[in-house]
Chain A
Amino acid sequence: MEDKDKKQESLYIKLIPYFEKYGILLLLVIMILVMHILQPDVFLSWRNVTNVFKQISWQSMLALGVFMVIVTAGIDLSVGSIMMLSLMILAIVSKAGAPWFIVALVPLFAGLICGLINGLGITFLRMPHPFIMTLGTLYIFRGTGNLISGGTPISGFTDEVRYLGHGRIDLTWLGLEKSQYLPVSLVLIAVVYFIFWIFLNHSRTGKWIYAIGGNPSAARASGINVNKILIIVYSLCGFLSGIGALILAGRTDSGYPNAGLQSELDAIAACIIGGASFFGGRGTVLGVFAGVMIMGILRNGLNLMDVSSFWQQVLIGSIIVLAVYIDVLRRDFGTRK
């Protein structure tokens, strides 16, 4: 009898890590099923699925950047502004007639520099919390973007520049119809997420990012240069926002002043839904992807059902609270107090 109890308990304990890792994917699958039942003809059609991926493409880049920052127990409120500034710089360089590869590289570089500024501010200016530094740069970067563009949209990019956001991979050689293409942005998401998964889980620097989030003084005592790692993390976050700008340029064919407005909050929401902890050290790349997907599918599904966008806000907010509450419950079971 006692033995049986023990077995059951150990089975339960064995299941917890799987829930921690894959629970959010379960939620995603359930959501897809519900949407499919509600909208059987449309939701899982080729057109709609690729649409979802195109819609989440640039948000997924911001979310991935913010995720790394959250793992260090930090926060980056400036990703939307970094993306807007990078997009504006791209538009101006493009309008000046620079060759396409320069136009395409410029936003990545601009994003990296913006992230570097955040990182340097947090470490060298010893801001009491990254919230403050990145709140400041949220205004600074967007203001700069408006200054250099005069606050007006700049449109019209070459096809090469638009490739990542707008390009299509033809699948007719597989016997599919012409309308059944693969968006380049979907492939880009997969590649970028895979690279960062490897980076965070299989490199020393990645492990140290988790260690800093778990216990910064332990990381310091282990001889890890915490400031250097933080600067790298914020720079990479800026760089990913720059990729976001390049994708957005492709999707909209325009640099516009409201680009990425409030998208930092969407990015944070996706991380939280995906299981990242604000206290740092917790969360997975797969979880963030699921978080981005959940938000994307929710918006897409509600749009298909013609639900007002006000309800979308209420629902997304509720999902954030619910997801975190599930996490709280899980931790009550999983961790010794």
Chain B
Amino acid sequence: MNSTNKLLLEAKGITKYFGTITALENVNLKVHSGECLGVVGDNGAGKSTLMKVLSGLYKPSNGALFFEGKEKILESPKDSQILGLEMVYQDLALAGNLPIGENIFLGREPTRKIGFLKFLDFKKIQEMTNTHLEKLKINVKSADQKVEELSGGQRQAVAIARSTAFNAKVVIMDEPTAALAIKEVGKVLDLINKLKKTGVGVIVISHRMDDIFAVCDRVMALFQGTNFAESHLNKTSRDEVIGWIMGKK
């Protein structure tokens, strides 16, 4: 990572309570363009809660989010999408009964006006899908294929394609390789590296050290809802990061 890269997203002092439970306490996070930040932590360390705060699904109890230096209040995932902040969910968040193209543009479909009525513009959806898949070098038989007919890796690729279809600046990925066959993991990691080269800031949440060390520039560990440790990848080791996850320094 180049330190002159632009700071895209910053979270300062994020605290989140659920009733009497403190899920996050005073957590800070930064992502620059073209950089991949790995977020690690044990189950219940607060990774998913933090990501949901960043994507606007949860409102933080305390703390602030800054996007390109300006403070932003996110009321819903729609707000974060407008800023160029996209989330790739662990359960993929794809509708298996719909074709690839319609999944990529779900909720933001291009339409065509005929008289006063708006109709879906299927031709445009297909064109945009093909261009976009080509840009990311994702191979599928056809944009009309239903998502349920795809393999786990192809689905993950569609989910990533979906997150970047509208000029995303920051993409947050929750366990992007967890559900994949081993031979497909490499393809998804390649895709993440490709995204970085286009200047996108990527946040990867993962349990797998292999993934973290293959794509990330920086890694931060959460422990019991707090910032526990953080380092550039070349200044740490697998064993040290695993120690952080367990709460040992």
Contact = CB atoms under 8 A, between A and B. Distances in A.
Residue among B107, B109, B120, B151 with the most chain A CB within 10 A? B107
Nearest to A282: B97
Interface of chain B: mostly helix, strand, loop or mixed: loop
B97 A335 contact: no
B76 interface: yes
Contacts of A207: 98, 102, 106, 109, 120
B98 A217 contact: no
Nearest to A71: B97
B138 interface: no
Nearest to A279: B97
B87 A221 contact: yes
A171 B210 CA distance: 76
Given A281-B97, A336-B148, A211 B120 contact: no
B77 interface: yes
B76 A210 contact: no
B109 to A, nearest CB: 5
Given A219-B106, A221-B87, A203 B119 contact: yes
Contacts of A217: 89, 91, 93
A171 to B, nearest CB: 31
B149 interface: yes
Interface of chain A: mostly helix, strand, loop or mixed: helix
Contacts of A336: 148-151
Contacts of A282: 97
A322 interface: no
A202 interface: yes
Given A204-B111, A335-B149, A336-B150, A224 B106 contact: yes
A224 B95 contact: no
A222 B107 contact: yes
A223 interface: yes
A133 to B, nearest CB: 24
B78 A214 contact: no
A192 interface: no
B148 A210 contact: no
Given A335-B149, A336-B148, A203 B120 contact: yes
Contact of A214 (B81, B98, B108): B98
Contacts of A202: 119-120
10 contacts: A207-B109, A207-B120, A208-B106, A213-B97, A214-B96, A219-B106, A221-B77, A221-B93, A281-B97, A335-B149
Interface of B: 76-78, 81, 87, 89, 91-98, 102-103, 106-109, 111, 117-120, 148-151
Given A204-B120, A214-B95, A223-B108, 5 more contacts: A214-B98, A217-B93, A223-B78, A223-B107, A281-B96
